[in-house]
Amino acid sequence: MATYDYLIVGCGLYGATFARLASDAGLSCLVIDKRPHFGGNCHTENRHGINVHTYGAHIFHTSNKAVWDFVHRFADFNNYINSPKALSNGRLYSLPFNMNTFYELWQVHTPEQARARIEEQRFQGDPANLEEQALSLVGSDIYTTLIRDYTKKQWGRHPRELPAFIIKRLPLRFTFNNNYFNDRYQGIPIGGYTAMFERMLAGIEVRLNTDYFENRNFFDNLARKVVYTGCIDEFFHHSYGQLEYRSLDFEHDIHEHENHQGNAVVNYCDDSAPYTRTIEHKHFENSQSDVTVVTREYPQDCTSGRIPYYPVNSEQNQKTYSLYKERASSIPTHIFGGRLSEYKYMDMHVVIESAMNRFRSERKQAATDLLPQ
Ligand code: FAD
Ligand code: UDP
């Protein structure tokens, strides 16, 4: 007899959401994670009174009220609005692409003037890749100043070799509005994500430093069902080949002064610096401290031993993923969810939504199984 209803592999946002919902429904869960902490990539750690986003800036945003209500069970959120600055060729620009950016770039004052500048340099036609999509949306000046080199650094390949959807994540607007997101709700959990996860996981058994693959049979036999949130190709011993992920190195510096860059996020959009972003964490929560922690983010190939952060959704990888997905759907005892298991570039709110939907369909299935045939 299984000891738990669910064994959950991975204590990131997908695993923790699923565990919370299952536990609220009276089901027993064991959550394991190979890392020494919970929270996955959302993890924060307090240094000098500042909540440092260990794996890069995490800004919560959503238009889904159910998701917003869900996270509010575990944290209060502040009114932080993400407004990164972009550095290119020694000049500072506003992001996302909006009237402030157009003024900084071309000294145009009105939406009509800005539209006309973009129109004269736009790619006309059906965009087939990220480069064409960017040229079609914003034209060549913005593409070469703010997109081309950043994207090459981030993904380790030319924008022509990347899918168009990646750049569609960024808003383009003809108003003076530097909000990086279009969502209705946005903020940072006051006290950091780690404190939020602590409340989310209250009463749920979590074992850290525990790798599922070190004793797969043992773990599978512990529970009625397994929720797996690790890399899907690893689960199947890479039998259809390795899926590509992009990794990152983070270098954290402590500066002995109060304010280093005046903004939480600065993007480095030309190729003079090998990193893509610097994050000054104290600005997320307006933390008061005599020192400041600044992190540089260096994109890397995901070679052995590195943490996979971003799925590289090229055509070839998508084809390979669909083979794994089909195989996964034939295993009724296992649920595959989250950024690495669904091999999808998902923000936090999308991951929560995905876990909620999956849990709901699980409950429906369980109710159907109990009906007389
Ligand atoms: P993860 O957080 O990766 O959790 C998976 C967990 O599974 C990990 O803890 C891992 O250790 C564990 N695991 C894997 N294999 C095993 C195994 N074999 N045994 C045991 N445990 C295992 N989203 C936003 O909404 N806003 C942002 O501003 C934002 N910024 C981001 C910045 C960066 C640099 C990155 C990389 C992502 C960002 N995201 C952001 C996305 C966000 O991080 C993800 O949506 C979310 O963390 C995904 O949760 P997850 O549970 O799917 O994956
Ligand atoms: N991007 C860019 N310049 C920037 C910011 C983003 O070219 O200053 C492109 C880049 O290709 C990136 C994509 O837009 O991968 C999505 O950006 P986002 O900020 O959403 O990336 P994330 O925070 O998920 O790393």
User: Is 211 designated active site?
Assistant: no
In a domain, residue 291? The reply is: no
Q: Verify that 105 and 56 share a domain, yes or no.
A: no
Which among 62, 229, 356 is the best mutation to test ligand 1's pocket, defined by most ligand atoms within 8 Å of the CB? Answer: 229
Overall average pLDDT of the 60-81 stretch: 98
Q: Are 94 and 103 in contact (CB under 8 A)?
A: no
Same domain, 104 and 162: yes
Looking at residue 373, its pLDDT comes to: 57
Domain for residue 252, yes or no?
Answer: no
Q: Is residue 269 part of a domain?
A: no
Average pLDDT on 183-205 reads 98
Atom of ligand 1 nearest to the CA of 351: 45
Please give the mean pLDDT across all residues of the chain: 97
The highest-confidence range among 1-10, 76-85, 159-168, by mean pLDDT, is 76-85
CATH number reported for the structural domain that contains residue 345 in this entry: 3.40.50.720
Give the per-residue pLDDT at 101: 98
Q: What is the pLDDT of residues 327-342, one digit of tens each?
A: 999 999 999 999 999 9
Are 74 and 101 in the same domain? no
Among 345, 348, 349, say which to mutate for ligand 1: greatest number of ligand atoms within 8 Å of CB. 348
Which ligand number lies closest to the CA of residue 227? 1
Active site residue 157: no
Residue 1 has pLDDT above 80, yes or no: no
Q: Are 101 and 70 within one domain?
A: no
Say how far apart CA 367 and CA 364 lie, in whole Å: 5
Q: Which residues contact 354 (CB under 8 A, 6 or more apart)?
A: 14, 337, 338, 342, 346
Q: What is the C-alpha to C-alpha distance for residues 8 and 10, in angstroms, rounded to an integer?
A: 6
CB distance 328 to 266 below 8 Å: no
Domain boundary among 139, 166, 193: 166
Q: Which numbered atom of ligand 1 lies nearest the CA of 38?
A: 9
Residue 173 lies in a domain: no
Whether residue 116 has pLDDT greater than 80: yes
Q: Are residues 112 and 198 in the same domain?
A: no
151 lies in some domain: yes
CA 26/CA 6 separation, integer angstroms: 11
Exposure string of 168-179, with b = 16+ CB inside 10 Å and e = fewer, is eebeeeeeebbb
Q: In percent, how much of the chain has pLDDT > 70?
A: 99
Q: How far is the CA of 151 from the centre of ligand 2 (A)?
A: 7
Residue that terminates a domain, selected from 115, 137, 166 = 166
Does 161 share its domain with 190? no
Q: What local confidence, expressed as pLDDT, does residue 347 receive?
A: 98
Domain presence at residue 285? no
Q: Are residues 339 and 220 in the same domain?
A: yes
Same domain, 224 and 336: yes
Measured from CB, residues less than 6 Å from any atom of ligand 2 are: 86, 95, 146-147, 150-151, 154, 166-167, 169-170, 267, 269
Both 40 and 160 in a single domain? no
350 C-alpha vs ligand 1 centroid, how far in Å? 12
pLDDT of amino acid 313: 84
The response to whether residue 346 sits with its C-beta less than 6 Å from ligand 1 reads yes
Q: Which domain holds residue 145?
A: 96-166
DSSP 143: I
Across the range 103-129, mean pLDDT stands at 97
Whether the Cβ atoms of residue 80 and residue 284 lie closer than 8 Å to each other: yes
Whether residues 204 and 329 share a domain: the answer is yes
| Residues 53, 55, 60, 65, CA torsion sign | negative
**Catalytic status, residue 345:** yes
DSSP 37-89: SSSGGG-EEEETTEEEETTS---EEES-HHHHHHHHTT--B-------EEEET
Ligand 2 atom, smallest distance to 95 CA: 8
Read off the pLDDT band of 350 (50, 70, 90): very high
In the annotation, is 246 catalytic?
yes
Nearest atom in ligand 2 to 167's CA: 14
Q: Do 70 and 24 reside in the same domain of the chain?
A: yes
Same domain, 240 and 317: yes
Q: Is the pLDDT of residue 369 over 90?
A: no
Q: Is residue 298 part of a domain?
A: no
The pLDDT tens digits for 42-61 are 999 999 999 999 999 999 99
**pTM of the entire predicted model:** 0.97
Of 277, 324, 343, 362, which one is the catalytic site residue? 277
Does the structure show a pLDDT above 60 at 358?
Answer: yes
Number of domains in the chain: 2
346-359 mean pLDDT = 98
In a domain, 281, yes or no: no
